Amino acid sequence: MNLRTPLLLALLLAHLGQFQVSAAVPSSSPAQLLGLKLPASALSLPTTGAEVTSAVLVRANDEGNTLGEYCRVLGSIHPVDPKAPEIKFQVNLPTHWNEKALQMGGGGYNGRIPNTLGKPTLGLESVPVPLALGYITFASDSGHQAADGDDASFALNDESLANYGYMHIRKTRDAVFAIAQAYYGKTPRRLYFSGGSTGGREALTAAQRWPEVYDGVMANYPTANFMGLRLWGAALARAVYDDNSAGWIAPDMVGKIAKSAIDRLDALDGAKDGLVSNMTAARAQSAALIAELSAPGKEGALTKAQTERTLSVYHEGYKLSYALANGIDSYGGYNSQEGITMQLGSQAAYMEPPESGPNAHHVSRADQFLKYFVARDPKFSLLSFDLMNPGPLKERLIKLSGEIGATNPDFEKMRARGGKILWVQGLDDPSVSPLENIKIYQRIVAKMGAEHVSEFLRFYLVPGLAHGGGKFSITWDNLAILDNWVEHGVPPPITPGVDINKATFGRSRPMCEYPGWPRYRGTGDINDWKSYEIVK
């Protein structure tokens, strides 16, 4: 496959579109925005209105500002329930506006407004940030305020929970559009969404719930099966900590498993570069690695509890005896025997409440989820939860899975309107299962047909990419590519992802659409994406 065609033409068109800033300029002033009150009727979901609490003009020559002149606006969206927190948001209104807007997603259980002045998630480092390109940029704290993104106590309030699940996305959009109307005399003609993890779920949620509003989204390693992921954390907790933590694996062995896998599997793609790219072939060999590390009589060998419980849950996931929303009844595992480093914590002892770092990473968020979203009891014990037989909690789990998540495979309205989706998942992700997101993508194809899906969605798997970092921390020109696809109908070209790791800065690989993966041709610079072919 020729990786160069039609890359140069497509990227040229994309960047021309990015830098064409229209003549749209403010018809109002920051002083006139300050104190602006929006009635509840200005927002399409239930609120008691919204208001601008701060509006400051940041001039192009202000110290430290390299983004051009813009108005920085802070605001609050008021709840219906007086006991529910407000939704806090920030919107940046460029003086020279391209009539487009980019909404940015959050992370974890949110509680803070994410950075609205930077690049989109995984966006190319070498191009100006969206605000400097003339985009309105904005985001919210998802409907509650917290110092810690692991704190889920907000979910004890129904309205706060619903805001986190999906409502804050549309409420914030509506408030920002009303503010844009007041400032420019018009609303954006294009609206995009960018996010990773929770923000990736929010991006897919926006496309599913409001396809008439969003023109395109960039969903990066999304927690699409939010319920499945949280229940996977609960399953991991029981696997690791039952029977006095019999399933816990010490950090030195966790590291040995990862290193042994890389040593065995790295060259399956033709390149010894620390990245396992041919994952299908790699997973076919994983059993041999575990058999070797658990051989009877071998010093430090893995135990039965470690292999049959912990490694099984980590590598294979689980299957439920009941179905969640959209028929979901399982969660895929991780490539934990193909080179990723499992996050099982630094100590065997279980803390109450569990703490990520000393305890396994996902366990703390599962504990918060079951306490506050499900049981709604801060004293609920995670280690008392039976995943397969949740008893009276089952109906609550099913209800929540429809309220929080992006597992509906029907994107027909998005497709029919001309909306587009760029979806990126790292194969080395230890936080969001690549196998699970592959399954969700396959369900979309089964529902809509491959031809229809290719009209609006590209799903990329990236070897070495973890949860925003990893062995191959990519950036690519995603916003320009998405905008060019939406505006001009130019499909995403075969294009490189560029590594921003300090140790391997500048190496590149082709962004491969699933089920493709990059295979080294055997000649050429091993760090140059043009030296690879895409194999399916």
Give CA–CA dist 161/404, Å, rounded: 9
Beta-strand relationship, 512-513 and 508-510: unpaired
Residues, the chain, total?
Answer: 536
Give CA–CA dist 519/536, Å, rounded: 10
Active site residue 315: no
Task: Please answer whether residues 11 and 19 qualify as being in contact, where contact means their C-beta atoms are separated by less than 8 angstroms.
Answer: no
Q: Give, in degrees to the nearest 5, the angle at Cα 450 between 448 and 451.
A: 95
Give CA–CA dist 345/155, Å, rounded: 26
Q: Which residue blocks in 285-393 are alpha helix, DSSP H?
A: 286-293, 304-305, 312-316, 361-368
The 3-state DSSP composition of the chain as helix, strand, coil percent (nearest 5) reads 40, 15, 45
Closest alpha carbon to 249 in 236, 265, 268: 236
Active site residue 140: no
Give the active site residue among 174, 429, 483, 499: 429
CA neighbours within 13 Å on the CB side: how many for 412?
Answer: 5
Give the active site residue among 140, 142, 197, 336: 197
Q: Supply the Cα-derived Rg of the chain in whole angstroms.
A: 23
The residues, ordered by sequence, that sit 6+ positions from 328 with a Cβ below 8 Å of its Cβ are: 225, 227, 228, 401, 407
Q: How far apart are the first and last CA of the chain?
A: 11
Give CA–CA dist 330/318, Å, rounded: 6
Task: Please answer whether residues 463 and 428 qualify as being in contact, where contact means their C-beta atoms are separated by less than 8 angstroms.
Answer: yes
Beta-strand relationship, 87-94 and 136-140: antiparallel
Q: Which residue blocks in 115-250 are alpha helix, DSSP H?
A: 158-162, 168-184, 198-209, 226-245
Active site residue 429: yes
Give the active site residue among 141, 467, 483, 531: 467
- Quickly tell me which residue has 């595992």 as its tokens: 333
> What b/e string do you get for 170-179 counting C-beta neighbours within 10 Å, with b at 16 or more?
bbbbbbbbbb
Q: Which residue blocks in 3-142 are alpha helix, DSSP H?
A: 7-19, 30-33
Give CA–CA dist 196/467, Å, rounded: 8
Give CA–CA dist 215/264, Å, rounded: 44
Q: Which residues are catalytic?
A: 197, 429, 467
